[in-house]
Copies of this chain bind each other. A is one copy, B any other.
């Protein structure tokens, strides 16, 4: 008795995404040969074109998967903070930590934007920013954050600063020390959003 067809198809898709994710995350999108990584999944480019249209389509699928995982991790950790402001800051910090991972950094912050354009325009890959925007909106309502900033805009700026912070740490000779400096500077910038007493 063989597996049903639907299951085989899902498995093929998953294998392709996994193989591509590994290749993109290590050698990078441009250097990843479709022949090579499809073969490493026991398939050929035929399957890839059938399911994802082209190389970019597969990258989109990989990005959607990673974005989902990042959102899970963010929500998981941020739900444990005492105040909403702290939760917001924690989310940002987690975000930086995730951006430290080579695979995420490469795919989400370097190759992704270069190949697919502005991340803000990606479909199915905005979960993290959405969460931060939500927090900011609430914080404004509660009077913690100054009223005259647009929450989504602020989220994007913070996003940009985060990825820079992560890059800086990742490329540092002394990641421990750099991490402290980067996170300190980052939190200081966030203070700018808070209402002063």
Interface residues of A in 167-188 (CB under 8 A from B): 167-168, 170-171, 178, 181-182, 184-186, 188
- Tell whether, in the assembled complex, residue B182 and residue A188 are in contact, meaning their CB atoms are under 8 Å apart: no
- Tell whether, in the assembled complex, residue A189 and residue B111 are in contact, meaning their CB atoms are under 8 Å apart: no
**Number of contact residues on A: which range applies?**
35 or more
Given A114-B114, A156-B168, A160-B160, also A192-B188 (CB < 8 A) = yes
Provide the main secondary structure of the chain A interface: helix
Given A160-B160, A182-B157, A191-B192, also A167-B114 (CB < 8 A) = no
- Which residues of the partner chain B approach A60 to less than 8 Å between Cβ atoms? none
Q: Smallest Cβ distance from A36 to chain B, in angstroms?
A: 18
* 15 A-B pairs in the complex with CB atoms less than 8 angstroms apart: A30-B30, A113-B114, A114-B114, A118-B171, A121-B171, A148-B184, A148-B188, A149-B181, A154-B189, A156-B165, A157-B165, A157-B185, A159-B164, A160-B164, A161-B189
